[in-house]
Amino acid sequence: MNAEISTPAAELTQRLSATPRGARLARRLVAHQLATWGYPHDSDLNYTAQQLTAELAANAVTHGRVPGRDFEVRLLLLTPGNTLRIEVSDARDDRRLRFVRDAGAEGGRGLVVVSLLARAWGVKERDVGKTVWAELTL
């Protein structure tokens, strides 16, 4: 665990509908915001952040959806540490995160992708639902 306290140098938070369209918008929103912060769309960091956001948002929409509830995307540039943190929160806390166990299964590889792309990732509980987060080094 890092003993330094990380504080956001920049932050974006947006609620989106828990639909496939909302998940697509989350990815586009992250790409645009990173470009605004100086990380162009065609940079490795922006592309990797888009991939992580796509996986986390797809999980929130597919497995964390509660009818009538949105999901939230939060993007943080943290200092010290030069870290980008992507958080996706949903309203469902009764489902545990799962890795694929059956190689022939249609889905279940999203968290494998997250674990390969992110420097660190995890889950934290909320009063309602959970937040899955992933970090990248800037």
- In Å, how far are 65, 95, 118 from 55, measured between CA atoms? 14, 17, 12
pLDDT one-digit tens code per residue, 90-121: 988 765 665 566 666 666 677 888 999 999 99
What's the pLDDT score for residue 1? 46
Mean pLDDT value of segment 50-65: 92
Confidence label for 65 from pLDDT (cuts 50, 70 and 90): confident
pLDDT one-digit tens code per residue, 69-84: 899 999 999 987 799 9
Answer left, alpha or beta for residue 108, where phi above 0 means left and psi between -120 and 50 means alpha.
left
Give yes or no for a contact between 52 and 112, defined as CB atoms under 8 angstroms apart.
no
Average pLDDT of the residues of the chain: 87
What does the block give as tokens for 46? 């922006």
